[in-house]
Amino acid sequence: MTRAPLDPALDEGSYALQRHLGFRLTHWDVDYARLELPIEHYLMNRAGIPHGGIYATILDTVMGYAGCYTGDAAHKKLALTLSLTTNFLSRPKGHLLIAEGMRTGGGKSSFFAEATVSDETGEVIARGSGAFKYRKTTL
């Protein structure tokens, strides 16, 4: 399925961890989000591959975005992660990590999501699932 790129009106700008790691949100729509992270030397573990915590971070992030889309920049929805499961499947073959998340269910106060990390070659590197609670305050 082809997804529309991120609507510039919904671009919230980057926050500190996002700037530090270097990922960017590229698509965001109802129940869906995608982010991209170029593989850089500072993301590597002792074995010379991206640290597992990087995968967990972008899986968590993309799932959170997938469940918090409102379509209205003036009405932001935020969530807290209640649980996060990460499965490591492979090593990247390319140079770009692509995380895609989908909200799979939930209600007014919580939601569930699943996500995949692949690279630009199509290699599936990690999968995750999580449960999230909407924050009572919105921005």
Q: What is the mean pLDDT of residues 92-101?
A: 98
Domain assignment of residue 86, yes or no = yes
Domain assignment of residue 65, yes or no = yes
Question: d(Cα 38, Cα 94) in Å, to the nearest integer?
Answer: 9
Domain assignment of residue 106, yes or no = yes
DSSP alpha helix (H) spans, the chain:
16-21, 52-67
Q: How many structural domains comprise the chain? A: 1
| 56-93 pLDDT per residue, tens | 999 999 999 999 999 988 888 999 999 999 999 999 99
Question: d(Cα 45, Cα 69) in Å, to the nearest integer?
Answer: 33
Burial class (CB in 10 A: 0-12, 13-18, 19+), 111: buried
Q: What local confidence, expressed as pLDDT, does residue 56 receive?
A: 98
Domain assignment of residue 139, yes or no = no
Domain assignment of residue 8, yes or no = no
Q: How confident is the model at residue 139 (pLDDT cuts 50, 70, 90)?
A: low
35 by DSSP, 3-state: which? strand
The CATH number assigned to the domain holding 47 equals: 3.10.129.10
pTM: 0.92
Domain assignment of residue 3, yes or no = no
- Judged against a pLDDT cut of 90, whether residue 15 lies above it is answered with no
Q: Which domain holds residue 97?
A: 15-134
Domain assignment of residue 10, yes or no = no
Tell me which long-range contacts 17-26 makes (C-beta under 8 A, separation of at least 24). 17/57, 18/61, 21/54, 21/57, 21/58, 23/58, 23/61, 23/97, 23/99, 25/65
Domain assignment of residue 104, yes or no = yes
